[in-house]
Amino acid sequence: MITGDQLRAARALARLTIQELADLAIINKMTIVRIEAGARANRLTLLHLQEILEGQGITFIEADENGGSGVRFKPGVEADLARKKKGTSDDGEAGDGVKALYPELADFWIEHPEALARLSDEGRRAISEAALGDPRALDDLAARP
Cβ atoms of 132 and 100 closer than 8 Å: no
The confidence score (pLDDT) of residue 36 equals 92
The whole-number pLDDT of residue 130 equals: 66
> For residue 66, what pLDDT is reported?
86
Q: Is 51 exposed, middle or buried (0-12, 13-18, 19+ CB in 10 A)?
A: exposed
Cβ atoms 142, 109 nearer than 8 A: no
SS3 60: strand
This prediction has a pTM of 0.56
Task: Give CA 84 to chain center in angstroms.
Answer: 20
Q: Mind listing the pLDDT tens digit of every residue in the chain (145 residues)? A: 899 999 999 998 888 999 999 999 999 999 999 999 999 999 999 999 999 999 888 999 988 888 888 898 887 666 556 555 544 433 444 333 334 456 566 667 667 777 777 777 777 777 776 666 666 666 655 555 4
Q: Where are the alpha helices (DSSP H) in 14-138?
A: 18-25, 29-36, 43-55, 77-84, 103-111, 113-117, 121-132
